[in-house]
Structure 1
Amino acid sequence: MNKTPLDDNALARLFTQARTYNSWSERPVDDATVRQLYALVSQGPTTANSNPGRFVFVRSAEARQRLRPHLSEGNVEKTMSAPCCVIVAYDTQFYEFMPQLFPGRDFSTTFAGKDAVIADTATRSSTLAGAYLILAARALGLDAGPMSGFNKDTLDAEFFPVGRWKSNFLCNIGYGTEEKLFPRNPRLSFEQACLDL
């Protein structure tokens, strides 16, 4: 594998010039891109390769209308106009897949019956997977608009009535437009946010 640092253009696309988009072109996110996006996301590290993240790609007009009532008022317009809104969720029984995902070790006693460990692992690793989703989308030439303004209880009842999957956050993806793009806000300095021991 090439370990040469990414050039400034690549870093700009992923981080320094990337933005949270609020308006979108009508260009759709096609099936191949959705599958490529997940293929990249699935390669990111999670606790013991547990991969508890689950993703609902809300693309059809019908599915967007199902999503609409659960959104906070400020998120309705931008989500309805996005070609895809991803419900980043987690599987509360992700450990059932551990024999497939980590065949070299038996994790049955690590998770079985340990609700706090399951919840902690599922939340942390699905949040990581959602971050990978944002970066993978940018790497594929898409833009992302992550958000948390929605009613988790009603959304989960609508999309996950069995109760096994639980929503974490939402992320609009597509091809963003400059309209409604806010100025970039400041970030904390290294000294404010880090300790170098």
Structure 2
Amino acid sequence: MTLDDAGLDLIFRKARSYNGYTDAPVSTADLEAIWELMKCGPTAANTEPARIVWCTTPESKEKLALVASPANADKIRNAPATAIVGMDMEFYEKLPKLFPHVDARPWFVGNAAMIESSAFRNSTLQGAYLIVAARALGFDVGPMSGFDNAAVDAAFFAGTPVRSNFICTLGHGEPATVFERLPRLDFEEANSIV
């Protein structure tokens, strides 16, 4: 089974990064539905290190906007929701639940380089799944990295082992806020078959 052209257009070909949204709300049930889809995406050893803070109130959006680049601050303020995709640097503590057939905790405990690379790689994957899940459910997104990670961590993850990876606005996109699609590399420019 494959997606039809309409599904592929929705998720990839006609999907865009939005810079502004309509006033249509995003509910807690919508955010839960996105999570229920995105959590199904694969991560190495089922680590699932992503931890998401959804900024939906004016106060939380303003707190995030204040530590974002000027170009991104208004996007955050005006979006119905913005996800802070974080990475739990102690994700391995949940492995007895998530990877129960093998004791995988020793693979990570005390190995800072392995923890760092696994948390970053797999939370990035989960953030990409968030984008695909949101689009599949009819939402538009605007992923971005223009923010102060240390300030976001202090404001939203203080006292936890979670660190920010990237942020992503979410809602029903306002078509006038999208730029023309930029060029993409051709297969031959980015791929080799050996």
Supply the distance in 2 between the matched residues of 1:101 and 1:33 (Cα, whole angstroms). 24
Give the aligned partner of residue 34 of structure 2: 37
1:20 corresponds to 2:17:
yes
- Give 1:66-85 correspondences, 5 Å limit: 66-85=63-82
1:181 shift after superposition = 1.1
Tell me whether 1:122 sits opposite 2:158 in the alignment. Answer: no
How far did 1:135 drift?
Answer: 0.3
**Equivalent of 1:60 in 50, 57, 62:** 57
Q: Is the 8 A contact 2:65 2:72 kept in 1?
A: no
1:160 counterpart residue number: 157
Instruction: From 127, 131, 142, give the equivalent of 1:145.
Output: 142
The TM-score, its normalising length taken from structure 1, stands at 0.97
Q: How many residues align?
A: 194
Q: Secondary structure at the match of 2:177?
A: coil
When the two chains are superposed, the root-mean-square deviation of aligned CA atoms in Å is: 0.7
Tell me the alpha carbon deviations over residues 101-153 of structure 1, each in whole angstroms, 9 at most, x when there is no partner.
01100012201100000000000000000000000000000001000000001
1:147 and 1:170 in contact (8 A); partners too: yes
1:85-96 aligned at under 5 Å gives the runs 85-96=82-93
Classify the secondary structure of the residue corresponding to 1:132.
helix
Shift of 1:31: 1.1
Distance 1:79 1:61 in 2: 10
CA offset digits 1:15-41 (Å, max 9, x no partner) = 010000001001111011110111111
- Structure 1 unaligned blocks of 5 or more: none
Amino acid aligned to 2:159? V
Say whether the 8 Å CA contact 1:156–1:163 is kept in structure 2: no
